Amino acid sequence: MRTSCLLLSQACLVLSLMTPVSLLQAQTLQVYTQAWPPYSYYIEGKLTGYSTELLQAVLQEAALDANYTLISWNRAYQHASTEANTLLYTTTRTPDRENLFEWIGPIGIRKLWLFKLKERTDIQIKDKEDLKKYKVSIVRDTSSLKLVMERGFFPREQIDEAPTTASNVKKLFFKRVDLILATNGGANYELSQLPYPKDAMEPVYLLNDEFLFYFAINKKTEPVIIEKIRHAFEKVRASGLIETLKKKYMID
């Protein structure tokens, strides 16, 4: 009897010591993102982009497996904010989201630019008051739209909403709007996919650059997994990969 108890105690000790390793081997991280070039998008059947390549390097360093799902931003955010062992990217770290996730990063600065057609010399923006003269298109259900609405940069009736940055760029060339709101990398990528000169569109006003991009992890995720990712990110950042990828994808 004493021998059986001793063996059972030893077995429990071994299992407790193995738990973190076993957990990491058995756990597959569920990763959610949206189609948002140049940060995350499919090309020739492969998920790629600035944030995608960076995250893949981090998870490889952390020795973690992941399932990637590219869906609408609303659905991606819903999954990541409610399900354990999930990661969301590319995510703006804002005060209202601060306590909802564990944050890994930063992975970049969110610079929101207003773009116009270069030929539209009638559009002149010197300060925020000038914004109220023009119609702008912004991707719906984003922190960018929320920021614009909360701070009253544009009258509500002059804000047009679109599903993607690609839609916004097309609206600009069809002259359905005067301005679009986008990151420099996002706007340049979408322009490169259209039959227009590279300089046909230009940034005219930096609307906001106070927030940063991060990887966001659901708080119910196992702590050992979060710490593995956090440690791996620091190693990848020290390697210089972030700057390399910024040049590759023309991220400012």
Mean of the pLDDT values across residues 136-142?
94
- Distance between CA atoms of 117 and 96, rounded to whole angstroms? 34
Pairing of strands 86-92, 201-218: antiparallel
Q: Give the SS3 label for residue 70.
A: strand
Query: Could you report the per-residue pLDDT of 45-68, keeping only the tens digit for each?
Result: 999 999 999 999 999 999 999 999
CB 214 within 8 A of CB 105: yes
Q: Give the SS3 label for residue 216.
A: strand
Domains of the chain: 27-109+211-249 (3.40.190.10), 110-210 (3.40.190.10)
pLDDT band at 141 (very low <50, low <70, confident <90, very high): confident
pLDDT band at 17 (very low <50, low <70, confident <90, very high): very low
pLDDT at position 136 = 98
Query: Could you report the per-residue pLDDT of 98-130, keeping only the tens digit for each?
Result: 999 999 999 999 999 999 999 999 999 999 999
Report residue 18 as tokens. 């193995």
Across the chain, mean pLDDT equals 90
pLDDT at position 95 = 94
pLDDT band at 3 (very low <50, low <70, confident <90, very high): very low
pLDDT at position 23 = 47
Residue 171 identity (one-letter amino acid):
K
Note the pTM of the prediction, 2 decimals.
Answer: 0.83
pLDDT at position 220 = 96
pLDDT at position 15 = 42
Mean of the pLDDT values across residues 206-221?
97
Mean of the pLDDT values across residues 70-96?
95
